[in-house]
């Protein structure tokens, strides 16, 4: 197994950081890794806003629901679904852009942002840095848009905390690889069994960690019984992603 795969398999989210800056050359390597990733039809419909300003990180921490690690770490990356640049390409050629009004456009650009974040995560961890992805930047999306001065046809998809780990958290277990990588066709029976087995495994994990008694399915059911970021859809529409196609 090579070092890249070892780094990926050793991933864990870090929520405690040292008061130590990231070297500019290391940050540039992380950004260059994300920049090198593929995008649909080479549309490059993703951008990153690099936030190092302490006051701004504190504000983002509050907007994301009070996540102190955003403020504690020296760098926060915001991955932006960016169909502004593709709209400008259309305008330059007198061809109005339509794709951003569709579900396909949102899927394409958000997926590309995810690919870029994956590369940034691997690059950061390969440099000995810690990370934690932040979906909470969608909790108050209009305020995030205003704070970062994002134009129409863009939307903040997710953030990434990057810093020097104060300590390493325990690795969380995963559902079985068999329920993740299916052979030739989707095996739903295998998924059902994997969830039952995983619930038992997570109960043991949480007990060892000293958390309240719970398991994976109960936690997911509690989260997904509602739309926990209800402002996403109306702000998406106001940004031009009307989703009527």
Q: What is the pLDDT of residue 210?
A: 77
* pLDDT tier at 171, thresholds 50, 70, 90: confident
pLDDT score at 151: 98
pLDDT given at position 233: 97
Q: What is the pLDDT of residue 170?
A: 81
Q: Residue 214: pLDDT above 90?
A: no
pLDDT digits (tens, 9 = 90+) for 5-59: 999 999 999 999 999 999 999 999 999 999 999 999 999 999 999 999 999 999 9
55-105 pLDDT, tens digit each? 999 999 999 999 999 999 999 999 999 999 999 999 999 999 999 999 999
Contacts of 21 (CB under 8 A, 6+ apart): 74
Q: Could you tell me the domains of the chain?
A: 3-171+228-238 (3.40.109.10), 177-207 (no CATH)
- Residue 1 clears pLDDT 90, i.e. is over it: no
């Amino acid at each position: 197994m090579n070092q890249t795969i070892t780094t990926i398999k050793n991933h864990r989210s870090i929520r405690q950081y040292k008061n130590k800056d990231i070297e500019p050359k290391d940050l540039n390597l992380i950004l260059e890794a994300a920049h090198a990733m593929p995008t649909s039809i080479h549309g490059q419909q993703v951008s990153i806003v690099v936030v190092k300003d302490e006051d701004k990180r504190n504000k983002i921490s509050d907007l994301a629901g009070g996540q102190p690690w955003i403020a504690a770490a020296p760098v926060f990356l915001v991955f932006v679904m960016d169909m502004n640049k593709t709209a400008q390409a259309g305008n330059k050629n007198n061809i109005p852009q339509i794709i951003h009004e569709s579900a396909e456009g949102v899927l394409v650009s958000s997926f590309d942002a995810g690919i870029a974040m994956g590369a940034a995560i691997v690059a950061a961890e390969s440099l000995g840095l810690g990370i934690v992805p932040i979906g909470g930047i969608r909790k108050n999306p209009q305020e995030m848009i205003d704070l970062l001065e994002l134009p129409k046809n863009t939307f903040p998809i997710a953030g990434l905390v990057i810093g020097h780990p104060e300590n390493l958290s325990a690795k969380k277990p995963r559902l079985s690889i068999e329920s993740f990588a299916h052979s030739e066709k989707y095996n739903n029976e295998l998924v059902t069994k994997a969830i039952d087995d995983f619930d038992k495994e997570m109960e043991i994990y949480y007990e060892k960690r000293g958390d309240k008694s719970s398991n994976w399915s109960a936690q997911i059911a509690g989260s997904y019984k509602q739309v926990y970021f209800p402002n996403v859809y109306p702000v998406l529409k106001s940004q031009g992603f009307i989703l009527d196609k």
